[in-house]
Structure 1
Amino acid sequence: MATATRRQTAPDEPAGAVDFTIITGLSGAGRSEAAKCFEDLGYFVVDNLPPALIGKMAELATTSGSPARVAIVADVRGGVFFTELSKGLEGLKALHIPYRILFLEASDDDLVKRYEATRRRHPLAPDDRVVEGIRKERLMMQSLKESADLIIDSTGMSPHDLRDRVRDLFARTPAETRIQVSLVSFGYKNGLPRDADLVLDVRFLPNPYWIDRLRPLPGTDPTVKEFVTGQRAYGEFIRKIRSLFNTVVPGYVAEGKAYLTIAIGCTGGRHRSVVVAESRPRPRLNPAATDPARDRPIAAPSPGTRIERHGPERPVRSLRRQR
């Protein structure tokens, strides 16, 4: 059974303090997956740093311009350096740098299965059975486990489950704000954007291109916008795609997707697709903080949204919402 246990609660850190985390635990318990997740959360991650250098790394982290969130992976791959970890931690205390230890473990059966799946040797038993290496490592890591601030038992967890658990414990922002949503307008004559996750075709709307006074104007022009938004089908279309986004985007968030590109296309990518993209039909991720009449967020933080217009002679405009 997968569990996470807090051994002690660190006091609240003052604003601007360095967020210093040491990731350690048993080989095969998920340190690498945890490190990847920390990177996704904005941490500066250093893998397999010799413990003797932890104090120096912490000093650098406190200097101006250095990353404010640092995670260090320390494990038995450090060889003799691993025995110096306690000295490194004492050095942090001497420098008055707060830190926390995340310890990952799993059952012997799960660890053996994972080693069998990867066909790798245990670092403490290169010429012996995997179970013997696990036994040695448990003994070596016991004192560190007892001093850990947080213990995650990854038994029965998939890599996806472990990433979710780490995000839940260490992310500073609510889950619904952890996805970057990009709205991209494009022209079918130029081809689809390669990074599109969802594609919406708005060529069913009347084309301003066939109106002489609108043809030379871009989709950002108020006259073009008034023409497109004034079509009977426009309002119903916007309501339906908002409903679609409200269904699929929370699912993407739950699956751990960090970004979502929604491509909106018309023939040339100059008029209709630009108007729809500029309307920013964002997903509603917090129903309790929405305006039912307009079906859009009004109080809750919404995901970052970037709008791009693809095509010749059209500048790219970027709008980012602070998380």
Structure 2
Amino acid sequence: MIDAQGDATGHDEAPPTVPAGIPLLEQQTTMPAGERPEVIIVTGMSGAGRTRAAAVLEDLDWYVVDNLPPRMLLPLAGMLAPGDGGVKRLAVVLDVRSREFFSDLMEVLDDLRSQRIDYRIVFLDASDETLVRRFEQVRRPHPLQGDGRMLDGLQRERALLEHVRDRADVTIDTSNLSVHDLARAVRDVVAAENEKGLRLTVVSFGFKYGLPLDADHVVDARFLSNPYWVTELRHLTGKDEPVRDYVLGLPGARPFLERYLDALEPILPGYVQEQKPYVTIAIGCTGGKHRSVALTEALAAGLRERGYGATTIHRDLGRE
């Protein structure tokens, strides 16, 4: 991984020399969209895992440049070349260390799109509580903290990144992810790069632990009776057959699932059209152990039956 300030952070090679002019862009625009080289922009909150995500991409043979001023994105894209020996997959890490350059990012993204350079934005986020804890563990100040509190720096950063987050193709909430979980999430993004259509993630969660930050849709499963109060079901989860049968057998459960699937049908194709191929549906109950888990599995199965790729994550399963 290469630091744009001139330090090598993974190999001994010198930072890349950006060619004068970008003639290769003309070659790229004449290629079919599926064959053109691609750029992944990794950004997000400080402490949310950008360094780890960049390392994963580098291990997957992406050419990674860290701490790049956004204005350098367009000329750097001139390095991308079809054919053997060229750089086909470029990952660029952008963050608030760019300071005065960061305000140019929106314009640069529009320029990339006008040049028909394929790019995706992966935005890493985490709760303020998690970010404060991570900074305290490494005993470092937030880059925008100044003479104020760490929370002041986080608020400034969130305001600065608001428009970037809105344009992100993928948002990964790392609050409850281990470094290995984050690596898997990044690999899933890359593994799907050549797939067409929509990729759906259905997440179960407990309301008492907070809403998932990356949720596009939130469903409240607390309208159903809680299996926690059934003695023989309390120690089980929504992945166990007795709990699943109990939850799905409750009045309103199956009609809700069918009608919610019907309601999603006209919505989901629009995400693809608007170049948002990753959608997260979060289903919550009180603790994220019984009702939300059972409904998450059932909803994902229903989506797959209707031809969508859907995976499940049970965020709070296992918490006390």
TM-score, normalized by length of structure 1? 0.48
Say which one has the larger Rg. 1
